[in-house]
Structure 1
Amino acid sequence: MTFKILKLSAGILLCVLTVKAQTTVTTPADNSAYILTPKTGRAPRINGPKIFGVRPGHPIVFTVPVTGTRPIKISATGLPAGVKLDATTGRLSGSVSKAGTYNLVFIAKNPAGSAKRNFKLVAGEDIALTPPMGWNSWNVYASNVTQELLLANAKAMVSSGLIDHGWSYMNIDDVWQGERGGPFHAIQPNLATFPDMQRASNEIHGMGLKIGIYSTPWVESYGHHIGGSANNSEGTFEKTPVVVPRNKKLMPYAIGTYQFVDNDVKQWAAWDIDYLKYDWNPIEMPETKKMFDALRNSGRDIVYSLSNSTPFATIADLSTVSNTWRTGGDIRDSWPSLKSRIFTQDKWAPYEKPGHWNDPDMMIVGYLGWGKDLHSTNLTPDEQYTHVSAWCLMSVPLLLGCDLTKLDDFTLSLLTNDEVLAVNQDTAGKQATVISKQGDNGIMAKTTEDGTIAAGMFNLGDNGKQQITLNWADLKLTGKYIVRDLWRQKDLGTFNGEFKADVNQHGVVMISLRKAK
C-alpha cells in the first residue's frame, strides 16, 4: 500500500491511496476555505421561484422552498378554489379549473421570526415558467442507475436541505427500460434495476420532489435499450442495423416504422411522471411535435426537454413545442468542456423566455464519474464558481449530475446560495449575454424583473489573476449604483461610471447593480 499527496491547481491537495488490488481511491482535500456563501439563519426565508405555471385542470405539484429552523408553519393568502397548502410541508396541491393569474402571498413562521413572499400561480398553456432545478442520473451513474440509487439521492436532496432552496426534480436517464407491455402496451421498467416505478414515483412525490424519465423516438436508445418506435407492429425490441454514414461513424440508431408515443405517454402519466428527457439526433419537428401533443393531452404537466445538439437552424420552430433544448453535445468535468459553453450562447438568447429555456447541459460539480471511476469533479473551486455563476446568469436548467449522498460542504455551499439562484429563477426569464469581451476576459449581464442588473465578470484565460472593468456605458447606465457581491451576499459600495475587480484565473466575480438613491 502506498500513500501520496499530490498538489493540483488552485491550491487543492489530493490524497491518493493505492492498495494491493490495484484500486485507486481518491479523496479530495477540504475545500472549505473556498466557501463564500453565508450560512442560513434560524428565521424563515422563502426561496425559489416567485411564479409557477400549471395548465387548467392539471394537478399542481409544487413545494414552497423555505430555510430556517424547523418546525416552520407555512400559510398562504389568495389561494384559488381547488388549491390547498399543507402548513407543515409547504406543498401546494389540487388544481385550478379556470385560466388566469392568481396572486398569492406565502407566509412562513417559526419562533425565530417570519417571512413573506408574493407569488404568482399562473393557470395557462405555459409551464416551467422558471428553469427546472433538480438532478439527473447520467453524469454519476450512467448505465448503472437503479431504483435504489434514485431513491437514495432523492432522500439526500431532502436531508441535505437542497429542497429548501428550490431543487426539486429527480430525473432518471437512459437504461431504465425493459420490455414493452402493461395496460398501455408501453415501455416497462427493467425489473432487475427498477422493480416498481410506481412506488419510486410515490416515494419521491411523498418527499415533496418530482420525478423525471428518459426516452427516444429511435428504435434503440443511446444506451442500447428499447425506444419509442419499432420496426414491427408489436413494438418488440430489435436492435437496429448499423449504418455507416459519410463521416464513417457507426450509427445503430433509427426511427422505426411503428411509433408508440401515445402508449408510452399514457404510462408516464399513470406513473405521475413530471419531466421527460427526449434524446435523439438530429432533432426534427415531426417527432418533437408528436411528443409535445401527447404530453399536452396526458392530463399532467410534464416538462419536455429535447436532447441533444438541437439544430440552431430550426430552433425558432422547435422552441415553440418544447420547454428546454440542448444547445450542444455532452459536457464533461474539464475546463475546456466548460469554457466552450460560456461566451458562446448568445445566439440562442432570442428564443429563451418563460417556459422555454436554452440548455448547455447538466452540471459537473460534486462527486461524479459516468458510472465508473467515480471522483470529485476535476474542476477547481474557481472553475466551479464560474460554472454555477454562468448557468445562473444564463437562466438555464440547473440539473445536478453528482451523487447527492456524497455532498461536501463546499459543493453544498455552491448549490444553496439563494441570491445566486435567484438570478437563475428570476421571473423575467432573460438570458444574460456578453456585453464586453477582451480576449478570454468578458462580462455577461442581464436586467432582472425588478430592474436590478445581474452581471458576471469572467476571467477564462490562463494568465493568472486579471483586473476586469465593468463600464456603465456597456450597460447603457449613468449615475451611481450600489454594487453587491452575490456570492458573499454583501454590498461592496456605491460606484459611478465603472466597477473594477480582480478576478482569479478561470474565476468569476458575480455582482448585482441597483440604483443608488
Structure 2
Amino acid sequence: MKKISLLFLGMCASFQAFSQGNNYVQNYKKFDNLALTPPMGWNSWNKFACNVDENLIKEVADAMVATGMKDAGYTYINIDDCWHGERDAQGFIHPDAKRFPSGMKALADYVHSKGLKFGIYSDAGSQTCGGRPGSRGYEFQDAQMYAEWGVDYLKYDWCNTEGLKAEGAYKTITAAIRKAGRPMVLSICEWGNDKPWEWGPTVGHLWRTTGDIYNCFDCINDHGTWKSWGVMQIMDKQQHLRQYAGPGHWNDPDMLEVGNGMPANEDRAHFTMWSMMAAPLITGNDLRKMSPQTKEILTNKEVLAIDQDKLGVQGYRYAAKDSLETWLKPLADGKWAVAFLNRSKKPQPVRFDWKATPITDEVSKAELNAAKTTYRLRNPWTHKDVGTTKKAFAATVPSHDVVVLLLSK
C-alpha cells in the first residue's frame, strides 16, 4: 500500500509538473520580419513632451503625407508619454478622455487611413517618466488593449522600475505582445544601462544605447541626477556596438533633433551621421511647420538610402585627426558611403587617396580597394557626380558639417 501511495504521488507530481509546463508557456521572442531596415517615423516627445492630444496627432499624420515625408519612407506616427488616463476596475488602461475624446482605436484608424502606422508609449515601471500609469503588473492587459486599438509600434521606457531587471522586464512585455497576437515593433528604451545589445536582438527590434538626446550639436545638459546629451556625445557612445546591429535589430542612438533649433549645417551633419550609423530615423520636430531646409534634409532620398541600405551594416569611424573624422559604411552591391565630419568651429581641408588606402571592414568583411576597382563618386547632398577614385579626393568641410560621398562600381 505504501509503495502504491508513493507511486501515485510520484505520478501526480510528474503530471502536475508536465501540465504546469504546458498550460502556459510564454514566448519571449519578438515578432520576426519587422524593422528589416531601421524604422522611420515621427515621435511627439522632442518637440511637444506632454502636450499631446488627438488633434495634434491627426495634424501631424496629415503633414507627414502632405510634406512628402511618407513618400520618402517615414511610416510611424508615435505618441510618446502622457497620453494615459486611468485604469478601469479590471485594470485595463484608457487614454486621457479630455485629450483623446474619440479614443485610441479611432485615432489609430485615422493614422492607418493615411497609409501610416500607429505607435504608442509605455513604461516597464509602476509609472511612466511623466508620472502616468506604467505597465508593471499590467503587461498582458496593456498589450491586449494595444492590439485592440491597432498599435504597430511600442516604445517601452525604464522609469520607476525599482528592483526590476531589464532583460526580464522586456521579455515580459514581449511575451505579452505575443499573447495579444498583433505584430508590433518593440523599441527598448532602457538607456543602455544593462547592455541591451547583448540580449535585445531576440526580444526587441531596436534598443536605446544612451540617455536622452537634446538639440545641441556638441554639449552636455546636466540635470543633476541625470544628463541629456548633444549629437556628438550620443554619436561617440556608439563605438564598439556596431556588431550587434542588423536587419530586425538596431542600435538606437535616440530620436532626431533635426528642425528643433540647430542651424542647417548641424542638422545636416546630425542626419548624415545617424544614417551612417544605420540608426532608426524617428523625427521629433513639428512636421506642420517645417522650413524648406528642414524638409530638404529629412527627405533627401540619397542620404536616406544610406540608412535604409538592405545590407544593414552600421558604419564606423575609420580615422580622426584635428577634429576631422572619416566614417565608412559598407552598402549592398559592393557600394560604400564615406562621410567626412568636421567637429571643429573652423573649416577643415580633407584629402583622401583612395588607391593608397585599401580597406576591409572587420564586421561585414566588405572590401574597398581602389587599386583593384575604380569607383564612381557621387555627393548625395549636392546630387552631383564628382569624379572617380582614380584621383585622390580633396575638399573643404565647413564647420559642424559634412561632406558625403557614395562610391559605386
Please give the TM-score of this superposition, normalised by the length of structure 1: 0.66
Structure 1 runs (4+) greater than 4 angstroms displaced: none
Counting only pairs closer than 5 Å after superposition, residues 117-516 of structure 1 correspond to structure 2 as 125-181=32-88, 185-195=91-101, 196-229=103-136, 259-280=137-158, 284-311=166-193, 313=195, 315-336=197-218, 337-366=230-259, 368=260, 377=261, 379-462=262-345, 464-472=346-354, 473=357, 475=359, 476-479=368-371, 480-496=374-390, 498-515=392-409
Segment drifting more, 153-162 vs 469-478: 469-478
On the 8 A contact 1:478/1:497 being kept in 2, the answer is no
Task: Report the counterpart of residue 26 of structure 1 in structure 2.
Answer: none
What amino acid sits opposite 2:69 in the alignment?
L
- Tell me how far apart the structure 2 counterparts of residues 489 and 297 of structure 1 sit (CA, whole Å): 47
C-alpha distance after superposition, 1:428-483 (max 9, x if no partner): 11100011111321111111111111111100112x11112334315351333211
SS of the residue corresponding to residue 375 of structure 2 reads strand
On the 8 A contact 1:447/1:453 being kept in 2, the answer is yes
Structure with a larger share of its residues in helix? 2
What amino acid sits opposite 2:278 in the alignment?
S
Question: By how many angstroms is 1:214 displaced?
Answer: 0.4
On the 8 A contact 1:454/1:512 being kept in 2, the answer is yes
On the 8 A contact 2:190/2:196 being kept in 1, the answer is no
Question: By how many angstroms is 1:298 displaced?
Answer: 2.5
Where do 5+ consecutive residues of structure 1 fail to align?
1-123, 230-258, 369-376
On the 8 A contact 2:370/2:389 being kept in 1, the answer is no
Taking structure 1 as reference, are residues 343 and 221 closer, same or farther at Cα in structure 2, changes over 3 Å only? closer
Task: Report the counterpart of residue 25 of structure 2 in structure 1.
Answer: none
Where do 5+ consecutive residues of structure 2 fail to align?
1-30, 219-229, 360-367
- Tell me how far apart the structure 2 counterparts of residues 481 and 501 of structure 1 sit (CA, whole Å): 18
- Tell me how far apart the structure 1 counterparts of residues 91 and 199 of structure 2 sit (CA, whole Å): 31
On the 8 A contact 1:443/1:470 being kept in 2, the answer is no
Please give the TM-score of this superposition, normalised by the length of structure 2: 0.82
- Tell me how far apart the structure 1 counterparts of residues 237 and 308 of structure 2 sit (CA, whole Å): 21
Percent identical among aligned pairs is: 37
The root-mean-square deviation of aligned C-alpha atoms, in Å, is 1.7
On the 8 A contact 1:436/1:474 being kept in 2, the answer is no
Question: By how many angstroms is 1:209 displaced?
Answer: 0.5
- Tell me how far apart the structure 1 counterparts of residues 155 and 233 of structure 2 sit (CA, whole Å): 23
Structure with a larger share of its residues in strand? 1
- Tell me how far apart the structure 2 counterparts of residues 498 and 354 of structure 1 sit (CA, whole Å): 34
Question: By how many angstroms is 1:303 displaced?
Answer: 0.5
Q: How many residues align?
A: 351
Question: By how many angstroms is 1:380 displaced?
Answer: 1.6
